[in-house]
Structure 1
Amino acid sequence: MARKPGQTPQAMRNRAAKTATAMSSPSAVAQAAPKKRTSISQFAKEVRVEARRITWTSRRETWITSVMVAIMVVLASLFFFLTDASISWAITQVLKLASGG
């Protein structure tokens, strides 16, 4: 049975060594490879490239999401209002009972 490429013991040892190096402390890696300073123009180019990769939601998706958020806000406010009112009523009844009235 033939071995697949990269399945030799030497290849496995090389991968293990690379993994061990990558998993070593970040400070050791940072000291080994100093960061290059980039110019402002290079930074702007990289920002443009990254901005092109952004996938924006459509108007319809934004509208649906906004409506769902509004519905959830209304439901949550109703829940908390009813919970607050019922706890307030219960405490009032306990205090009336305690005061004898």
Structure 2
Amino acid sequence: MAKAKTPGGRRPGPQTAPAGQTVTVDAGPAKPRVSPMQFFAQVRAEGRKIVWPSRKETWITSVMVFIMVLLAAVFFFVVDSLLTIAFRAIIAFGS
């Protein structure tokens, strides 16, 4: 897992308070709870913001995906064939 970079390249150590003092951490304002009706109203409002692709955009994207799948299939077929030929040549030396 990648480590987060900090200025100076060091991680800050644990902060300690002078003897006899405590450190408090403010978690920020608490989010107000909403009723189930408000929640579903917000969900519907967000759902109305969705922009669906047109039929033309969907068709073009589908064709592009199909072409990329074909190109990947051909690429891996060629690589697999070359590796098979190389493997058989190496094995033939041992026989």
TM-score (normalizing by structure 2): 0.69
For the aligned residue pairs, the C-alpha RMSD in angstroms reads 1.3
Q: Deviations over 1:43-87 (max 9, x none)?
A: 011011111111111011001000100110011011001100111
Amino-acid identity (%): 46
- Taking structure 1 as reference, are residues 93 and 37 closer, same or farther at Cα in structure 2, changes over 3 Å only? same
Query: Is 1:71 aligned to residue 58 of structure 2?
Result: no
Name whichever structure is richer in helix by fraction. 1
Instruction: Give the drift of 1:97.
Output: 1.7
State the secondary structure of the residue aligned to 1:32.
coil
Partner of 2:9: none
- Map 1:1-101 to 2 at 5 A: 28=26, 31-99=27-95
Aligned length: 71
Q: Distance in 2 between matches of 1:94 and 1:36?
A: 69
Q: Distance in 1 between matches of 2:94 and 2:35?
A: 75
Q: Distance in 2 between matches of 1:32 and 1:62?
A: 43
Which consecutive unaligned segments of at least 5 residues does structure 2 have?
A: 1-24
Instruction: Give the drift of 1:37.
Output: 1.0
- Taking structure 1 as reference, are residues 92 and 42 closer, same or farther at Cα in structure 2, changes over 3 Å only? same
Instruction: Give the drift of 1:98.
Output: 2.4
Q: Distance in 1 between matches of 2:81 and 2:50?
A: 46
Letter in 2 for 1:78: V
TM-score (normalizing by structure 1): 0.65
Q: Distance in 1 between matches of 2:28 and 2:60?
A: 50
Q: Distance in 1 between matches of 2:76 and 2:28?
A: 56
